[in-house]
Amino acid sequence: MFRRPAQADVQADVQADVVADVQGDLQTDAQTEILGALVIVADVEDVEQTWRGSLPAGVFTDAQGEVFISNRPELLFWRPAVDETAIALRGETQLSYRVSFAAEHEIWELSWSPYLPRRALHLTVDLPVIGLQGQILVDVAPARRLASLQAAALAALCLAFGTLLFLAMERRRTLAAANAVLESRVATRTRALQSTNSQLRREVNEREEAEAALKKAQEELVQAGKISALGQMSAGISHELNQPLMAIQQYAENGEAFLQRGQAERVGENLTRIASMSARMARIIKNLRAFSRNESEPMARVDLVQVITTAVELTGSRLAADAVTLIWKPPESDDPIYAWGGEVRLTQVFVNLINNAADAMLGQPDRSITITLEAGARLSVAVKDIGPGIKRTGKDV
C-alpha cells in the first residue's frame, strides 16, 4: 500500500510545495501590495511521538497516497501498490494484505509488524483543509472478544432458559403422568365405591325387608300371644258373661211378675240391676275387643291406672278359678297417671305378667299377686307373687 522515500527527497518536496504555493498566491494577488511571506514549519516527529503507544494505528496520506504522518514509524512514506492488494516499500519489496467486508466496513487481515493488529477495521476520512486523508486501523480483537463474551453469555442464557424450559416440560410431563395415574386410580376407586355402594344398597334393602318381616313376625307373635291368652281366659270369660246373662234373665222374669202384681218399685229395682249387669258385660266385651285387636296406632300418652285395671278385669275370672288373690289398689288421686306407649300392648304386658305369676303358683296352696304403682319423676310398676321363682344351679333367681 505504501512506499517509504528518502528523508532528503521529502524535505525537497516540502520546500518545493511551499515555494509553489507562495508563488501562486503572489501571482493571484499581483495587484495587492505584498509586504512579505510567513512560512511555518512544524516538527511532525514531535506530533508522531505523542501519538505512539496507546492509540490505534493511524496515518495521514497526501493526494498521491503516500503516508505523511503516522503513529507507527514503520508506516511512514509507504504508498499503495498498483493492484491495491499490497503495500510497496522502497525498491520492489511488497507486503500483501487481504480485504474483506463486514456489512459496509472494510476488514484488513495483515501480518506486517507485531505493533499492528492482525485483523483491523479500516476507516478513512477526508481532510480537505489540510489536503490530507486520515486512515486508521482499529484492532477488532477486543470487539471479537466482546462479541464472543456476548455470544457466550447469550448461549449461557439460552442454555439456562432451555434448561428451565426442559425442566418445566419434564415437570409438566411428570405431573401429566402422575395425573394420569391419579385419574386411573380415582376411576378404579370410583368403580369400587360404586360397586360397594350398590352392594350396600342391596344389603340395606335386604335389611329393610328383613326388619319388615321381623316386625310383621313380631306383630303376628304378639297377636298369637293375645289369642293364646284369650284361649286361656276363655272359660273364665264365658263364666263372666254367662253369670250376668243368667242374672239379667232372672231379673227380667222377676220384673215381669212384679209388673203383673202392680209393684212398680220392685220392677224399677230389677231394671236398674239389669242395666248394671249390661254395663258390666259391655265393659268386659270392650276390654276383650280392645285386647284382641291388632294395634297399629302410634305411641301416645296412656293412663297407666286404666291399663292395669283393664288387665285385672281380663284376668279376674282366671284368677278366681285358680284361687289366686290379686291385690291391686289404685292411687287415691283421681288424676290420671300417664305413660308413653300403646294402650293395647301395655295391657297385654300386664296380662302376661299376671298370668305368668298365676302359673308359677299353681303347685302351692297359698297364691297371691300384688301390684303396686309408684308415681313420681320416674314411674314404677311392680308385679310380685309368692311363688318359688326360677331355680338355677341350686339357687333361686
pLDDT score, position 8: 46
Average pLDDT, integer, range 61-89:
68
pLDDT digits (tens, 9 = 90+) for 89-113: 544 556 667 778 877 788 877 777 7
Q: Is the pLDDT of residue 371 over 90?
A: yes
Q: Is the pLDDT of residue 14 over 60?
A: no
C-alpha to C-alpha distance for 352 and 371, rounded to whole angstroms:
13
- Indicate whether 233 belongs to any domain: no
Cα-Cα-Cα-Cα dihedral of 306, 307, 313, 319, to 10°? -130
pLDDT score, position 107: 80
pLDDT digits (tens, 9 = 90+) for 163-179: 999 999 998 999 999 99
Among 96, 125, 145, the domain-final residue is: 145
Give whole-number Cα distances, 32 to 19, 23, 25, 29, 325, in Å.
18, 13, 10, 5, 179
Q: Is the pLDDT of residue 232 over 70?
A: no
Residues with Cβ within 8 Å of residue 318, at least 6 apart in sequence: 232, 233, 235, 236, 355, 358
Mean pLDDT score of the chain: 76
Which grid cell sits at 378? 320416674
pLDDT score, position 33: 65
pLDDT-derived band at 1 (thresholds 50, 70, 90) equals very low
Among 130, 145, 160, the domain-final residue is: 145
Q: Which residue has the higher pLDDT, 275 or 291?
A: 275
Which residue type is seen at 340?
A: W
Q: Nearest 5°: phi and psi at 70?
A: -160, 145
List Cβ<8 Å contacts ≥24 apart for 310-314.
Answer: 310/347, 311/347, 311/350, 311/351, 311/354, 312/354, 312/371, 313/283, 313/284, 313/287, 314/233, 314/237, 314/287, 314/288, 314/347, 314/351
Instruction: Please state at what angle helix 343-360 crosses helix 264-292, rounded to 10 degrees.
Output: 100
- Indicate whether 161 belongs to any domain: no
- Indicate whether 130 belongs to any domain: yes
Nearest to 137 by CA among 155, 113, 153, 158: 113
- Indicate whether 364 belongs to any domain: yes
SS3 (DSSP) at 8: helix
Q: Is the pLDDT of residue 303 over 70?
A: yes
- Indicate whether 354 belongs to any domain: yes
pLDDT score, position 231: 65
pLDDT score, position 337: 87
Highest mean pLDDT among 190-194, 254-258, 294-298: 190-194
Q: How many domains is the chain built from?
A: 2
- Indicate whether 320 belongs to any domain: yes
pLDDT score, position 221: 75
Highest mean pLDDT among 22-31, 79-88, 218-227, 353-362: 353-362
Average pLDDT, integer, range 309-317:
81
In 10 A of CB 273, how many CB atoms?
Answer: 18
Give whole-number Cα distances, 84 to 1, 79, 99, 104, 264, in Å.
6, 10, 10, 19, 175
Q: Is the pLDDT of residue 81 over 80?
A: no
pLDDT score, position 4: 40
pLDDT digits (tens, 9 = 90+) for 100-149: 887 778 887 777 777 777 788 888 888 887 788 888 888 888 888 888 99
Which grid cell sits at 391? 331355680
pLDDT score, position 21: 58
pLDDT score, position 316: 81
Domain around 376: 297-397
State the CATH number of the domain containing residue 33: 3.30.450.20
Distance of CA 93 to the CA centre of its chain: 88
Place of cell 449461557: 156
Among 100, 123, 145, the domain-final residue is: 145
Length of the chain: 397
pLDDT-derived band at 186 (thresholds 50, 70, 90) equals very high
- Indicate whether 167 belongs to any domain: no
Average pLDDT, integer, range 352-377:
88
Name the DSSP class of 73. Answer: G
Give whole-number Cα distances, 388 to 15, 290, 392, in Å.
167, 33, 12
- Indicate whether 243 belongs to any domain: no
Average pLDDT, integer, range 59-69:
77
